[in-house]
Amino acid sequence: MKPIAFITGATSGIGEATAKKLASNYFLVLCGRRKDRLDALEKNIRVHTDVHTLCFDVRDRKAVFDAVDSLPPQWQDISLLINNAGNAHGYSLIHEGDMDDWDAMIDINVKGLLYVSRAIIPRMVEKKKGHIVNIGSIAGIEAYLRGNVYNASKFAVNGLTQGMRMDLNPYGIKVSEIKPGLVETEFAQVRFKGDQEMSASVYKGMEPLLARDIADAVDFVVSRPAHVTIADMLVFPTAQASAAMVHRTA
């Protein structure tokens, strides 16, 4: 019997790579909105470990709690929560921003993370055991031009991570944050609403991180001995030195 990991945003990018990486050591609860992707992933990973999928939108508070409540008894004892679901929506100056984009980023990246955490952490508290890994970002420690609300959402993840670690400290629950720099996933396609040229420009002339690089970081963070918590990990591609400084050859 393996411990159970609950991963949000498992249908692509960092979440999907993390699911694949953790499959040898965990049973997996994999979440996302795209049912076809969840089904394909389940089929793919089932040969390595037990998988349970949950299809819900993290913005929908009731759907989050219904999904977690729907877990069969053998899936309820979650040891590891990876709060990964999230995206940037838009790349506008603050006075030109689309307020639907703002709502999406606050509702998904901040409130969604909170709803999932609220649904899962009480059982960890009861058991006095567990580990929460929040996927933050370099965007959560440094703002950049046109990043505004996405930056704010990831600064919030950083604040919540610190607060969670304090609140959960008496219960022996680990809380970690991994903050990637540029990772080539569907992230840019979502931010630029399918504009391929704009998406490609994000990684032009530089070698970005791959989702599996962050999955490796997650694997390291969750495999430390019981007395060790990696509180915070910033991971850049070598070509990146800060949120806005990226060495490009083209």
Residues annotated as part of the active site: 150
Closest approach, Cβ 139 to ligand 8X3, in A, equals: 4
| SS3 of residue 54 by DSSP | strand
Say how far apart CA 45 and CA 25 lie, in whole Å. 12
| CB-nearer residue toward ligand 8X3: 39 or 98 | 98
- In the block, tokens 């504009």 appear at 195
Longest dimension (CA), the chain: 54
What are the CA-CA distances from residue 183 to residues 14, 148, 215, 223, 240 (Å)? 8, 19, 11, 22, 11
Closest approach, Cβ 57 to ligand NDP, in A, equals: 4
Residue 32 makes contact with ligand NDP by CB under 6 A: yes
Residue 243 interacts, among ligand 8X3, ligand NDP, none and using kind-specific CB cut-offs from 5 to 8 Å, with: ligand 8X3
Terminal Cα distance for the chain, rounded: 50
Residue 139 makes contact with ligand 8X3 by CB under 6 A: yes
**Residue from 135, 222, 239, 243 binding ligand NDP (CB under 6 A):** 135
* Interactions with ligand 8X3, residue window 163-182 (CB under 6 A): 182
- In the block, tokens 């909170």 appear at 114
Residue 147 makes contact with ligand NDP by CB under 6 A: no
Please report the DSSP string for 15-45 in residue order: HHHHHHHHTTT-EEEEEES-HHHHHHHHHHH
Closest approach, Cβ 123 to ligand 8X3, in A, equals: 30
Residue 137 makes contact with ligand 8X3 by CB under 6 A: yes
Residue 138 makes contact with ligand 8X3 by CB under 6 A: yes
Q: Which residues bind ligand 8X3 (CB under 6 A)?
A: 137-139, 147, 182, 243
